[in-house]
A and B are shown apart, each in its own frame.
Chain A
């Protein structure tokens, strides 16, 4: 989808680190990207690559201390929100930007009713009175496919199944019709059949509300179904960014290639071994020096170990951070 739409979110050189007794963890090391209105961007990468921390940093939900967002800016509709005081951030969270988290079992407060948790954003952000908020909450529950919603308002989270809880989470995040939904692995903790339902639900909501979505996942299959663009992260860096079709047709970063290779595929020989990525994930306690993927890269050259490549455009809407051209094996 080409971009005559306005820029909703612009992240520049965001860096986040954590100060721990064991040392400093460099979790996010200068990521920059743009998000347009109504766009769906998927962020993929393995556990620990910094995808969740980046999103939490966006909304300044990182605990400080030990965390610290020490560089960069995040412009939402043109204004840098990292500079905003907490009260103003509270107005953006839940209202302009909604979040759905991974584990529906632990993400809902066990001692408050569903109704209470649903109506909170409505009363806080939209100033609704209790009765009106309750009615709206019932509508929201219906919207996310929960039957008999009126009765469920009095229920507690432990009385719901995992899939239903996630639906409630989604209803909560969308209560004030935000412009952006950040979904942090919303289906990972669910059964496969439920996963499909949730993806479908979110897609439907997106189309209805004309929202932008940032979808964090390590599941490339989900990505293919509903993303416009994909960002691949590794060790706190963005290593590749492309439109979804481009990414699958033309993966250009060695890590992306390796990820795609590692997917089990229907069209390969049954007895061929699954390809895994050699080596182990990087030690985030060490300040990055050179390309973080170098120790595991098939295409590594000397320069990779010394100098960290910057994000560069290699085609329309397609950028990577790499010194090597994977098609030829030679430096670009």
Chain B
């Protein structure tokens, strides 16, 4: 669960003569797309990520959910075979199918948690950066306080408490245990701090710009200035942060589910498939290997993607 980001350094001497180009000027997004395309790792990451989504969501068209949940103790703990490509688990369920449906949850949790944390991060960061003064002090103190408590501890405590409180829900044709909502919310409310700091820094520097002064002068309201003027200009670090935040959220869910406090069975996630697999460390490595590998591939491709996005959108950034 790392939020450490960095960039490679541009070579000064190469900055020599770029102004002299006699080609038609490119728009910002065209330029960004070009840089992104050149970033082979990022393209690789994007492709693998697309494949993973295809696997999880397309896979459900091939193998039904009831098949994934079908237990047959006579088939328990079978090593990978032609019929069960990833083997079977301790109650005889096909692991491949479970990773497909588990993947849906893990990925969905990643995405929705990021929506929450981005929303909160932007709100708090914008308010703190724009208004400054005591609002800024207060919000930043709270942000710092929350940053000082390791995420996983907060997650454990909150998951423990809110765990059983929410009933099952129906979504995209499946029934989820209420713990999914809980996990999404608590990941969201423990991860907004990084983005809040970034957004605040953006607002602090942008609010002195002339276009903001002009907007004030023409009587634009503060809310409009924040959301229609300054925010669109700070999208680059927000996009990068949100992308990398998905990886963080997927990892967070995996950690907490692994500890048994996250999404509760029978709803599968890649994380909770690993819980209990520790008992079969030696005898049935396929129980933990495949879900673990899928988590790794997902997080890795998101990291590649995020790295490429950062180089494309904001080549000089180095945020921590």
Residues of A bordering B, CB below 8 Å:
18, 20-22, 25, 27, 48, 53, 62-63, 66-67, 280-285
Pair B11/A281 contact, Cβ less than 8 Å: no
Chain A nearest Cβ from B149, distance in angstroms? 34
For A21, list chain B residues within 8 Å (CB): 38
Which residues of B are found within 8 Å of A281, using beta-carbon distances? Answer: 17, 19-20
- Is there an interface contact between B20 and A25, defined as CB atoms closer than 8 Å? no
List residues of chain A with CB within 8 A of the CB of B21. 283, 285
Q: A25-B14, A281-B17 are in contact. List 16 more A-B contacts (CB 8 A).
A: A18-B13, A18-B14, A18-B16, A20-B11, A20-B14, A21-B38, A25-B17, A53-B13, A53-B16, A63-B13, A66-B11, A280-B20, A281-B20, A282-B20, A283-B22, A285-B17
CB distance from B271 to the nearest CB of A (A): 39
B 41-78 to A, binary, CB cutoff 8 A, 1 in contact else 0:
00000000000000000000000000000000000000
- Choose one: B11, B14, B20; the contact of A48 (CB below 8 Å): B20
Interface positions of B (Cβ within 8 A of A)? 11, 13-14, 16-22, 38
Interface of B: prevailing SS: helix
- B14, A284: Cβ atoms closer than 8 Å: no
Q: List 12 A-B contacts (CB under 8 A).
A: A18-B13, A18-B16, A21-B38, A22-B18, A27-B16, A53-B16, A63-B11, A66-B14, A281-B19, A283-B20, A283-B22, A284-B17
Q: How far, in Å, is A168 (CB) from chain B's closest CB?
A: 23
- Contact at A284–B13, with CB atoms within 8 Å? no
The interface residues of chain B lying within 8 Å CB-to-CB of A66 are 11, 14
Name the A residues within 8 Å of B17 (CB-CB).
25, 48, 281, 283-285
The number of residue pairs between A and B whose CB atoms lie closer than 8 Å in the complex comes to 37
Query: A22 CA to B17 CA in the complex, in Å?
Result: 11
- The answer to whether B38 touches A284 (Cβ under 8 A) is no
Residue of A nearest to B23 (CB): A283
In the complex, A165 Cα to B230 Cα: how many Å? 40
Residues of B within 8 A of A48 (CB): 16-17, 20
Q: Within 8 Å CB of B18, what residues of A?
A: 22
Contacts of A18 in B (CB 8 A): 13-14, 16
- Expressed in whole angstroms, the Cα–Cα distance for A283 and B20 within the complex equals 5
Q: How far is the CA of A332 from the CA of B38 in the complex (A)?
A: 49
Tell me, in angstroms, the Cα distance from A244 to B286 when the chains sit together: 82
Centre residue among B16, B17, B19 by max chain A CB count within 10 A: B17
* Cα-based distance from A53 to B21 in the complex (angstroms): 20
Docked Cα-Cα span, A290 to B31, in Å, equals 31
Q: CA–CA, A284 to B22, complex, Å?
A: 11
A196 CA / B16 CA spacing, docked (Å): 28
Instruction: Give every chain B residue within 8 A of A283 (Cβ-Cβ).
Output: 17, 20-22
* Cβ contact within 8 Å between B13 and A62: yes
Q: Specify which chain A residues have a CB less than 8 angstroms from the CB of B14 in the assembled complex.
A: 18, 20, 25, 66
List of A residues within 8 angstroms of B11 by Cβ: 20, 63, 66
The CA of A53 and the CA of B16, in the complex, are separated in Å by: 10
Closest Cβ–Cβ distance, residue B223 to chain A (whole Å)? 42
Which residue of chain A has its CB nearest to the CB of B38?
A: A21
* Closest B residue to A286 using CB positions: B22
Give the top 3 A-B pairs by smallest Cβ distance, nearest first.
A284-B17, A283-B20, A281-B20
CA distance A22 to B13 in the complex (A): 13
CA distance A21 to B16 in the complex (A): 14
- The chain B residue sitting closest to A283, CB to CB, is B20
* B16 adjacent to A67 (CB under 8 Å): no
Report if A25-B16 is in contact (Cβ < 8 Å); known contacts: A63-B11, A66-B11.
yes
Query: What B residues does A284 contact at CB under 8 A?
Result: 16-17, 20
B274 to chain A, nearest CB (A): 41
Residues of B with C-beta under 8 A to A53: 13, 16
Chain A, Cβ-Cβ closest to B14: A20
CA distance A62 to B13 in the complex (A): 9
